[in-house]
């Protein structure tokens, strides 16, 4: 249990920690733009200085693009080890004209700090450093071993991270990992994200005639690849919106009673959601709530389709080719490799002989479920109660987070704590991104408390 | 019946008529390119001079783009009147490097003249002028009244012609029209095209959410407009390839016994057709021959489809919009306006409430069937027998020819004689376009013979 002195220290240094955050936010470490490479390096070195000041054994690790910072502080090899992940790069700030204050001149207004990176992820990540700073100040050492991994390519899909993890698998070994790069359920309702959907993503290419043909001359004797694509894809769903691929649901673990109760207890304003989406009504699988449908049930979406003439006016063409991108969100315990086999078999079984078809797997990610009974999860629950003064709710998320899969699959870490200190309306990736000063403070407290709880 | 002296004269002037054709072919009257406007005018004036030399009362009629030439020779107001249509413009010749001889330097090789416009339509159209030239030389007058309408915008979809016809409806009144701008069934098998398919062409636009959404965050609760489009369009066809729109076939006039026999008698090499199309097998409606399917049965084709992400890689988007272009080839007696109603009703009945849909009619054309018992058709049959030494076969064509519909609907001409003197392998619109010298000669004979036959 965290000593009161640490909490008091965090409280006492509120302004100093904030000043450090403002300092960090002033560095325009946009990973997308090559002209910001010097800023990226500045941000990486800023983090490195912070770690060294804390007493970490830390260094910059060069990658093909932006450096990774790795640091460790091993107090007792027999104690549990926590891996803390964060990223120091930020999204491009455009459109600039929509910002009330400049994106890299942090502005304090109405209890928020406004700046690019405020919530994603500089503010959230920094809570862990400031938590350790307070602990070190009071106790002179951390109550467990900590490894820190901070990358500068998260906003460009982390191309260097996976190879880095593979290469440094042993060095990065840990009992649990913590990632604060998300959000609470809503401001004031802290959350632990214990489930993520997986993904499997395909491109389907259909070829009919050798060349584009005139539909007047050849209409009636050749297969039209657009029609084949639409006919196949239309068959992937049943009338009621469920997925018609045989065996698709076989490995789905049904939602447990407590999960459904937890989701049902969360406030969700259907009307304002519809307004935000601009739809007359929501759709989806019968028998499941909105939250269940968007986070804990598998889906199939056609993400793109193309073929033939799409310009203005009319062109009577039977195209040679058509194609589509199709993806499925998977839930525990569906396996992307198995679903791929089912999808391929299903599509092939529907493909007429008069066209050629090619199915390419573009991407896949395993769904994730961190057992609620894992000691690390219970530790996080207690830490959040201390930091936020409130029991966290348990959430699943509809998307996948690649780093979580890589930590599981490459590093073998089973307890991955997704503890978002931000709020869904912080505007990550949008103009006027912000972070609530109170959430920064609560996050530091929770991050510090976590280090004193039993992770294993 | 055509006097022998006329046929002998045609034979005697073989070289002179050919020289005139070569002259005509040297003018690069490409309607597409504005830099060829002077050439377009040269070609129009070339035609005008020909008409005046024949004794036609003729003039250039300016349009917004390229001039129309109109001429008439009314010998006896009580005699039948034949309207002869042609066009003096040609397709662009590109790709130039594929031509064996330059496109506007006509080259005679192995019984053909090679040049852009040789078959489409300068060579075919000129047969009618040379036929009249021979008749005038022998008889001093034509055996019927002739009106000549020659446009310079056929290759750019005739934008000025329809308004011109509407404005000059009375001036252009005729008992029959003849158009030589197509081909025989194959070289040496002359044909009369007595049927054309019609067309109705729609754009379907579906809107789901207000903005593109992340499929991880919102997959499972919003309708995906691509899925709606594919599901609706997939339902337009039955398993056996027939069209599933209720009532679609109601007005189709079944093929008559003689038509099916005529089509069955025509040589058609399925293997080389498959090779040309690059397909393993042909497709289409059961119970109908290839020729029936591509010329005399209605079809539905998706001519284009779009929505979402079609770039390289994977993007997990649920798009706001998707759409498609859909057209149906219609056969007598299907009415585009009625089919439009059926299509709209069908699509609306399949559209779920969770998306918005818009159906736009882009284009439509009535199918055409010129009764085989029409005196003009029988006259054409006899004229072709004289010109080609062979009874013509009766053909339907799968496409529509706008000028035929306009002649029918605007001018009220019911007997439209589609007498193609070219050959399907003449390469209209392609490099090395050609016209068989023998077909030029046969065409002149047939065109002359037609003037002596009973058109009404």
Which pLDDT score, from 0 to 100, does residue A448 have?
Answer: 98
SS (HEC) of A338-367 = HHHHHHHHHHHHHCCCCCEEEEEEEEEECC
pLDDT level of residue B375 (50, 70, 90 thresholds): very high
pLDDT level of residue B184 (50, 70, 90 thresholds): very high
Those of residues 339-398 in A touching chain B at CB distance below 8 A are 352-354, 362-363, 397-398
pLDDT level of residue A396 (50, 70, 90 thresholds): very high
CA A176 to chain centre: 18
Is the CB of residue B216 less than 8 Å away from at least one CB of chain A?
yes
CB–CB contact B303 A318 (8 Å): yes
> Is A281 labeled as catalytic in the residue annotation?
no
Q: Which of A120, A154, A292, A433 is catalytic?
A: A154
pLDDT level of residue B402 (50, 70, 90 thresholds): very high
CA B351-A223-B289 angle, to 5 degrees, is 115
Cβ atoms of A422 and A439 within 8 Å: the answer is: yes
Which pLDDT score, from 0 to 100, does residue B106 have?
Answer: 98
In this prediction, residues A250-270 reach a mean pLDDT of 96
Q: Which CATH class is domain A4-196+367-452?
A: alpha beta
Cβ atoms of B325 and B303 within 8 Å: the answer is: yes
Nearest CA in chain B to A290: B221
The C-alpha of A224 sits at a distance from chain B's nearest C-alpha, in angstroms, of 7
Which pLDDT score, from 0 to 100, does residue A161 have?
Answer: 97
Is the CB of residue B210 less than 8 Å away from at least one CB of chain A?
yes
A4-196+367-452 and A198-257+290-365 in the same fold: no
CB–CB contact A234 B237 (8 Å): no
Nearest CA in chain B to A298: B220
Q: Which residues pair with A395 in a beta bridge?
A: A193
Which pLDDT score, from 0 to 100, does residue B227 have?
Answer: 96
DSSP letter for each residue of A98-157: G-SS-TTS-EEETTEEESTTIIIIIHHHHHHHHHHHHHHHHHSS-SSEEEEEEES-GGGT
Suggest the residue from B237, B293, B298, B303 to mutate for an interface test with chain A (most A CBs closer than 10 A): B303
Nearest CA in chain B to A324: B310
> Is B89 labeled as catalytic in the residue annotation?
yes
Which residues on A lie below 8 Å from B210 (Cβ)? Answer: 276-279
Which pLDDT score, from 0 to 100, does residue A416 have?
Answer: 97
Domain ranges of chain A: 4-196+367-452, 198-257+290-365
pLDDT in tens, B333-370: 999 999 999 999 999 999 998 899 999 999 999 999 99
State the number of CA atoms in the 13 A half-sphere of A354 facing the CB: 19
Phi-psi domain of B102 (left: phi exceeds 0; alpha: psi -120 through 50; beta: other): beta
Indicate the SS3 state at residue B19: helix
CB–CB contact A302 B216 (8 Å): no
Is the CB of residue B187 less than 8 Å away from at least one CB of chain A?
no
Which pLDDT score, from 0 to 100, does residue B443 have?
Answer: 98
pLDDT in tens, A286-315: 999 999 999 999 999 999 999 999 999 889
d(CA A115, CA A91) in angstroms, rounded, equals 11
- Residues near B280 by beta carbon (within 8 Å), at least 6 away in sequence: A353, A354, B274
For B186, which DSSP code?
Answer: B
Cβ atoms of A63 and A69 within 8 Å: the answer is: no
Which pLDDT score, from 0 to 100, does residue A31 have?
Answer: 95
Which residues on B lie below 8 Å from A297 (Cβ)? Answer: 220
d(CA B407, CA B172) in angstroms, rounded, equals 9
Is the CB of residue B211 less than 8 Å away from at least one CB of chain A?
yes
Of 3.30.1360.20, 3.40.50.360, 3.30.70.360, 3.30.70.20, the CATH number of A198-257+290-365 is 3.30.70.360
Nearest CA in chain A to B198: A216
Which pLDDT score, from 0 to 100, does residue B252 have?
Answer: 98
CB–CB contact B310 A306 (8 Å): yes
Cβ atoms of A329 and B215 within 8 Å: the answer is: yes
Which pLDDT score, from 0 to 100, does residue B31 have?
Answer: 95
CB–CB contact B277 A209 (8 Å): yes
d(CA B79, CA B455) in angstroms, rounded, equals 10
d(CA B321, CA B222) in angstroms, rounded, equals 12
DSSP letter for each residue of A231-259: HHHHTTB-TTS-B-STTTTTTPPPPPHHH
Is the CB of residue A327 less than 8 Å away from at least one CB of chain B?
yes
Which pLDDT score, from 0 to 100, does residue A182 have?
Answer: 94
d(CA B447, CA A326) in angstroms, rounded, equals 58
In this prediction, residues A148-157 reach a mean pLDDT of 96
Is the CB of residue A287 less than 8 Å away from at least one CB of chain B?
no
CA dihedral A206, A211, A214, A219 (to 10 degrees): -50
Those of residues 105-124 in A touching chain B at CB distance below 8 A are none
d(CA B444, CA B130) in angstroms, rounded, equals 6
On whether the B198-264+292-365 domain is CATH 1.10.1740.10, my answer is: no
Among B201, B280, B284, whose Cβ lies nearest the Cβ of A314? B201
pLDDT level of residue B145 (50, 70, 90 thresholds): very high
In this prediction, residues B151-173 reach a mean pLDDT of 96
Among A216, A299, A307, whose Cβ lies nearest the Cβ of B398? A216
ipTM comes to 0.88
């Amino acid at each position: 249990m965290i000593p009161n002195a640490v909490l008091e220290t965090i409280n006492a240094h509120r302004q100093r920690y904030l000043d450090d955050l403002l300092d960090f936010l002033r560095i325009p470490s946009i990973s997308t733009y090559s002209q910001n490479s010097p800023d990226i390096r500045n941000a990486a070195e800023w983090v490195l200085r912070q770690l060294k000041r804390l007493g970490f054994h830390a260094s910059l690790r060069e990658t093909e693009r932006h450096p990774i910072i790795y640091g460790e502080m091993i107090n007792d090899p027999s104690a549990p080890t926590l891996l803390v992940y964060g990223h120091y790069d930020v999204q491009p700030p455009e459109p600039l004209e929509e910002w009330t204050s400049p994106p890299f001149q942090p502005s304090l207004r109405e209890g928020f700090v406004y700046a690019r990176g405020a919530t994603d992820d500089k503010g959230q990540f920094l809570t862990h450093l400031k938590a350790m700073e307070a602990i070190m100040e009071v106790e002179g050492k951390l109550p467990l071993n900590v490894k820190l991994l901070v990358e500068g390519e998260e906003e460009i899909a982390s191309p260097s991270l996976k190879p880095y993890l593979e290469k440094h698998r042993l060095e990065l070994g840990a009992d649990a990992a913590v990632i604060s790069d998300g959000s609470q359920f809503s401001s004031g309702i802290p959350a632990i994200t214990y489930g993520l959907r997986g993904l499997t993503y395909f491109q389907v290419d259909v070829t009919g005639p050798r060349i584009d043909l005139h539909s007047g001359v050849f209409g009636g004797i050749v297969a039209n690849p657009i029609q084949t694509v639409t006919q196949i894809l239309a068959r992937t769903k049943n009338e009621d919106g469920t997925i018609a691929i045989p065996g698709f649901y076989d490995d789905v673990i049904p939602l447990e009673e407590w999960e459904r109760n937890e989701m049902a207890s969360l406030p969700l304003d259907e009307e304002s959601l519809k307004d935000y989406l601009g739809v007359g009504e929501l759709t989806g699988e019968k028998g499941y709530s909105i939250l269940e449908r968007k986070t804990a049930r598998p889906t199939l979406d056609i993400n793109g389709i193309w073929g033939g003439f799409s310009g203005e006016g009319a062109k009577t063409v039977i195209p040679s080719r058509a194609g589509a991108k199709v993806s499925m969100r998977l839930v525990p315990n569906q396996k992307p490799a198995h679903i791929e086999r089912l999808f391929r078999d299903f599509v092939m079984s529907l493909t007429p002989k008069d066209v050629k078809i090619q199915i390419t797997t573009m991407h896949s990610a395993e769904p994730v479920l961190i057992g609620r009974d894992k000691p690390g999860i219970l530790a996080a629950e207690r830490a959040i109660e201390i930091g936020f003064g409130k029991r966290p709710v348990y959430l699943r998320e509809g998307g996948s987070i690649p780093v979580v899969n890589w930590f599981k699959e490459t590093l073998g870490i089973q307890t991955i704590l997704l503890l978002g200190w931000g709020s869904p309306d912080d505007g990550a990736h949008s103009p006027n991104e912000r972070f609530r000063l109170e959430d920064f403070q609560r996050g530091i407290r929770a991050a510090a408390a976590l280090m004193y709880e039993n992770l294993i």
